[in-house]
Amino acid sequence: MNFRKGKVHEEPEINLIPFIDVLLVILIFLMVTTTYSKYSELQITLPTATAENVPVRPKELVVSVDASGKISLNNEPVRYEHPAQLASEMRKRAIMQDDGKGPVVVVSADGAARHQNIVNVLEAARLAGLDRLTFATVKPE
């Protein structure tokens, strides 16, 4: 028995709005995750020279810290009490550069030195106004 004799069958229809929404989300995701290459604006070829480069050695203030915590400035022992005292010693030994900047502070610390001793040296350099710091290392053989 056919009870639906009088009803008209509706054709199924594809709803495009959710499909477009999904495509827009995928497009936004791809735009956000894409990495863009940065190209150099100038393509230049540097000139060559046969002369050897002379390394410009800036003035240095070498701060040595041994395993027991003793500190020396430019191989002269200094009695350490607190960072402000070490900062005043560093200021006395600092030789200003021609460009008006302070010397490069080279921290040469023993591998077994306490971390706190190194932090104290860095704090003293900050208090002395010496902001150019480097650490001395050796190359492994």
What's the rounded Cα separation, in Å, for the pair 61 and 44? 38
Instruction: Tell whether 49 is covered by a domain.
Output: no
Cα torsion for 111, 112, 118, 119, to the nearest 10°?
Answer: 120
**pLDDT at residue 20 tops 90:** yes
| Domain assignment present for 46 | no
Identity of residue 91: R
Quote the pLDDT of residue 120: 92
- Give the pLDDT of residue 121: 92
Range of the domain at 93: 60-135
Does 43 map to a domain?
A: no
pTM of the model: 0.57
Assigned domain for 89 exists = yes
In-domain check, residue 124 = yes
**Average pLDDT for the chain:** 78
Q: Examine residue 115 and state whether it is found in any structural domain, yes or no.
A: yes
Neighbours of 103 (CB within 10 A): 18
Quick: pLDDT tens for 25-84: 999 998 888 876 655 444 444 445 555 554 666 688 888 888 888 888 888 888 888 899
Give domain status of residue 91, yes or no.
yes
Distance (Å, rounded) from C-alpha 1 to C-alpha 4?
9
Does some domain include residue 101?
yes
Q: Name 28's bridge partners.
A: none
CATH number reported for the structural domain that contains residue 96 in this entry: 3.30.420.270
The count of structural domains within the chain is: 1
